[in-house]
Structure 1
Amino acid sequence: MKPTIEQISRHVDQTITLGCWLANKRSSGKIAFLQLRDGTGFIQGIVVKSDVGEELFQKAKGLTQESSMYVEGVVKTDERSPSGFELQVTGLEIIHEAVDYPITPKEHGTEFLMDHRHLWMRSKKQHAILRIRNEIIRATYAFFDKEGFVKIDPPILTGNSAEGTTNLFHTKYFDENAYLSQSGQLYLEAAAMAFNRVFSFGPTFRAEKSKTRRHLIEFWMIEPEMAFTDHEESLQIQEQYVSHIAKSVIDHCPLELEALDRDITKLQQIQAPFPRLTYDEAIVFLRGQGFDIAWGEDLGAPHETAIAESYDKPVFITHYPLGIKSFYMKPDPENPEVALCADLIAPEGYGEIIGGSQRIDDFELLEQRFEEHGLSEDAYRWYLELRQYGSVPHSGFGLGLERTVAWMSGIEHVRETIPFPRLLNRLYP
């Protein structure tokens, strides 16, 4: 197999052949500098006219942006290079010459770049963001495997809502109504009763007409559910998990973080335990900051940002009023007006990245919640039966992948954190 740029350190002073594309180039008299990429990384190729001859040198100088090629050369160490290496080119075979590549080094508008997303993801910063996304996914599987979780895949087509909302994409399932899933949680609760600790990782859909920088129509969720686990234990697992993926990004994505000019010190502070604030304490704090907010109102993005700015780490906001939370959340036995739940708010203005709770495990209480929320008992009969046959205390949470990628990458908008974002007015490409 041909070596890749990612493996380049294994081939110092060796002659190798790279399959690659031309990201950019410049020339200085008798030397051409080729910025090469192969999908695993970027490296500079040096073409010296006196070493390669006129024909090859002119071929190198005439290369167009994003042309594909095989490049032969000797790997050399170079402390000035971000990767620590460069390639002294000795041969070049063009595979395909790209003509009039639309994304040039000049500035382009966001809509133009989104229309060319299939090409934009080749650029260095977009490439770095999606590599960080990949590392968070890899670290997620490693963490839950180490902690004894079983991967379970809930259905994407469902007959009802996980949270009783109307923000669902409707479709026909032969002669029945069906919806694209907004969460796999209810199915994972069933799986937890079979396997104890489970998690899912998959796409979810919200038909919310939102245009904010934090929202996507289609996004990916990591959703663990745990039997015999109370609210406090769940919070500990959440902070251990987030700390783990932050460390993995620091350890395995140094070049990507550098390409994004990410302040590493902010990521290094993401270590458990995380500070906690009850909803009551949050209301008092927000009023002290000049917010006009009544007890019982949900917290919006400005509220979350104001709270997060007081901390260097993510902060848990716990014990929200039952009235603004989902039907399945267990009331706090010491104060039944609030739920045993928490949202994890990321620092630097990135907002909520995790929502979680202890789930109701009492059959009669859950049945009462169905009535209060106007939910069909027939549609949820299977979910009720989980409380009928060996019910146990159990908890779970969901982490939004794209918001987490945006936060750890230090970028402003979640639309750059997924290969092909689905936004309110964007279904192309």
Structure 2
Amino acid sequence: MSVVIGRVVDLVGGCLVRVSVGGFLRDVVLGDSLCGEELLSVIRSGREVFLKLLVDGSGVKVLGVVGIGGVSLEGFRVDASRPELFARYSWLWLRFPRYSKVLRFQHALLKSLRGILDSEGFVELLPPVLNLASDPGLRGAKKIAVSVYGSRYELCSSTIMYKQLAATALGKMYFVARNVREEPAENVRTGRHLTEFTQLDLEWAGASMSEVISLGEKLVYESCLEVSEGAKEIIEEFNPGLKCFKPPYERITFNEALNIVRGMGLEVSDSRELPQEAEELLSVRLGKPFWLVKFPTSGRGFYYMPDEEEPGRNQDFNLIMPGGYGELIDGGVREYRYERVVERLKELGEDLSKYSWFLEALRFGIAPTAGFGLGVERYTRYLLNLKYIWEAVPFPKPPGVVNAP
């Protein structure tokens, strides 16, 4: 038996109303003392009505009215194709059963991902938000700087350096980290970018590229199975055709991918990451998850270990999901040698003084590590077959959108 608050979403007829309780719909009867024309007219007008409910097993009893809104919701319709409007009223859409279900599903997904990593001996740490210098390899996005006590800090765009240092101490670790990047405004058209987003960021001391790729496959496959069963009703409503692909997944080198997309008529660079259009075409063509491996060193961050067997390429990878959903995981084996990191930062035109704290740690010595980041909103979007990534997060910040709460 418990007392909860329900939000009236519809007048079914007579004194019977439909109530949303945490996103789940229940039909309840208003008692004689409440079922008067005054309250019924408020409900018909579209204004919010909040009821105190006593829930006892399958039974629900209305105890009273605890709040009535002053603005009618008539005319308010969720339209995720309009990111400015969707972001502005995100606090309102959360009340709608569709998005309450998305967030409950995401909670179950995070619980599953954490459980898998915990069972593998990983330790969760609290992620930093203020960075003296964050990841410079942002694929066209900009870092955001703030002043703290008169000193310049950057909002976290990636926990990459912190992960390497933490894994040196703990062996296996992960963050569920919020990241902020000023994405190009035009990226809103992709439907898969956010200015503020969440990554499951993990690092593993001593691991090889194959070992972390296998771990990524385990995370994706086992979490898919677990939420398909544990959140079965939500999956059946949003994505009844969801398939959990059993590992191992095919690995395609960057050079092989170049040949494929050029054969499809796209012009792509030998020295940069694949454009998103090429990535999506590969995703649709192959129809299953695959690893894109060994990117060009010139197009990636300073923290990847070069591939000794293939000069000019890294020991790195992306996991590309099918159906045009694109990149879900980005990672690789990390460069941990002081001299090489300094060399790469200079090649990228970075100010070494900004990275002095990290370079000092490298001089002390850190462990060789490998790891990756998995986009939580992207994975939610994929599993629930959502059209837009801003549907997969409360209070979204789509690219180019301002004044979003």
TM over 0.5, yes or no? Answer: yes
SS in 2 for 1:272: coil
Which one is further off, 284-293 or 342-351?
284-293
Distance 1:46 1:255 in 2: 25
1:426 counterpart residue number: 402
1:271-329 Cα shifts (integer Å, max 9, x gaps): 32222211111111112222232422421222111111133432110001111111111
2:296 is the alignment partner of 1:321: yes
User: Normalized against structure 1, the TM-score is what?
Assistant: 0.83
Q: Which amino acid aligns with 1:410?
A: N
1:404 counterpart residue number: 379
1:138 to 111, 123, 134: 111
2:314 is the alignment partner of 1:339: yes
Distance 1:169 1:142 in 2: 33
Distance 1:426 1:97 in 2: 30
Deviation of 1:190 after TM superposition, in Å, equals 0.5
1:326-381 Cα shifts (integer Å, max 9, x gaps): 11111111012110000111212112111101011333322321221223334324
Deviation of 1:159 after TM superposition, in Å, equals 1.6
1:172 counterpart residue number: 147
Deviation of 1:256 after TM superposition, in Å, equals 2.3
Distance 2:137 2:90 in 1: 34
- Given that 1:319 and 1:338 are in contact with CA atoms closer than 8 Å, whether structure 2 keeps it comes out as yes
Distance verdict in 2 for CA 1:113–1:391, change over 3 Å: closer
2:27 is the alignment partner of 1:26: no
Summarize the alignment of residues 86-101 of structure 1 with structure 2, pairs less than 5 Å apart. 87=59, 91=62, 93-101=64-72
Count of paired positions: 393
Distance 2:79 2:389 in 1: 18
Distance verdict in 2 for CA 1:243–1:101, change over 3 Å: farther
Q: Which amino acid aligns with 1:167?
A: K
SS in 2 for 1:405: helix
- Given that 1:22 and 1:63 are in contact with CA atoms closer than 8 Å, whether structure 2 keeps it comes out as no
Distance 1:203 1:392 in 2: 25
Distance verdict in 2 for CA 1:300–1:92, change over 3 Å: same
Distance 2:40 2:364 in 1: 73
1:367-422 Cα shifts (integer Å, max 9, x gaps): 32122122333432443344444544310111121111111111111111111112
1:257 counterpart residue number: 235
- TM-align CA RMSD: 2.6
Q: Which amino acid aligns with 1:44?
A: D
Distance 1:366 1:305 in 2: 32
Distance 2:79 2:318 in 1: 37
Distance 2:155 2:57 in 1: 50
Distance 1:38 1:333 in 2: 58
User: More relative contact order in 1 or in 2 (CA 8 Å, sep 6+)?
Assistant: 2
- Given that 1:114 and 1:120 are in contact with CA atoms closer than 8 Å, whether structure 2 keeps it comes out as no
Distance 1:174 1:55 in 2: 59
Summarize the alignment of residues 182-261 of structure 1 with structure 2, pairs less than 5 Å apart. 182-210=157-185, 211-212=188-189, 213-260=191-238
Alignment gaps of 5+ in structure 2? none
Distance verdict in 2 for CA 1:25–1:255, change over 3 Å: farther
1:6 counterpart residue number: none
1:27-85 Cα shifts (integer Å, max 9, x gaps): 2xxx65422222162223367xxxx7x66655785562531113458766xxxxxxxxx
Distance verdict in 2 for CA 1:273–1:46, change over 3 Å: farther
Moved over 6 A (4+): none
Q: Which amino acid aligns with 2:51?
A: M
2:145 is the alignment partner of 1:158: no
Deviation of 1:115 after TM superposition, in Å, equals 2.8
SS in 1 for 2:346: helix
SS in 1 for 2:354: coil
Deviation of 1:92 after TM superposition, in Å, equals 5.0
Distance 1:255 1:33 in 2: 25
SS in 2 for 1:379: helix
Q: Which amino acid aligns with 1:334?
A: E
Alignment gaps of 5+ in structure 1? 3-16, 77-86
SS in 2 for 1:246: helix
Q: Which amino acid aligns with 1:242?
A: V
Distance verdict in 2 for CA 1:73–1:334, change over 3 Å: closer
- Given that 1:269 and 1:312 are in contact with CA atoms closer than 8 Å, whether structure 2 keeps it comes out as no
Distance 2:218 2:380 in 1: 17
- Given that 2:87 and 2:397 are in contact with CA atoms closer than 8 Å, whether structure 1 keeps it comes out as no
Distance verdict in 2 for CA 1:275–1:100, change over 3 Å: same
Which one is further off, 318-327 or 295-304?
295-304
Summarize the alignment of residues 348-387 of structure 1 with structure 2, pairs less than 5 Å apart. 348-387=323-362
Which structure is larger by alpha-carbon Rg, 1 or 2?
Answer: 1
1:288 to 263, 270, 278: 263
Distance 2:201 2:328 in 1: 12
2:98 counterpart residue number: 125
- Given that 2:196 and 2:397 are in contact with CA atoms closer than 8 Å, whether structure 1 keeps it comes out as yes
Summarize the alignment of residues 55-74 of structure 1 with structure 2, pairs less than 5 Å apart. 58=36, 64=43, 66-71=48-53
Distance 1:327 1:112 in 2: 38
Deviation of 1:90 after TM superposition, in Å, equals 6.0
Deviation of 1:270 after TM superposition, in Å, equals 3.0
SS in 2 for 1:273: coil
- Given that 2:225 and 2:244 are in contact with CA atoms closer than 8 Å, whether structure 1 keeps it comes out as no
2:18 is the alignment partner of 1:35: yes
Q: Which amino acid aligns with 1:314?
A: P
User: Normalized against structure 2, the TM-score is what?
Assistant: 0.88
Q: Which amino acid aligns with 1:102?
A: L
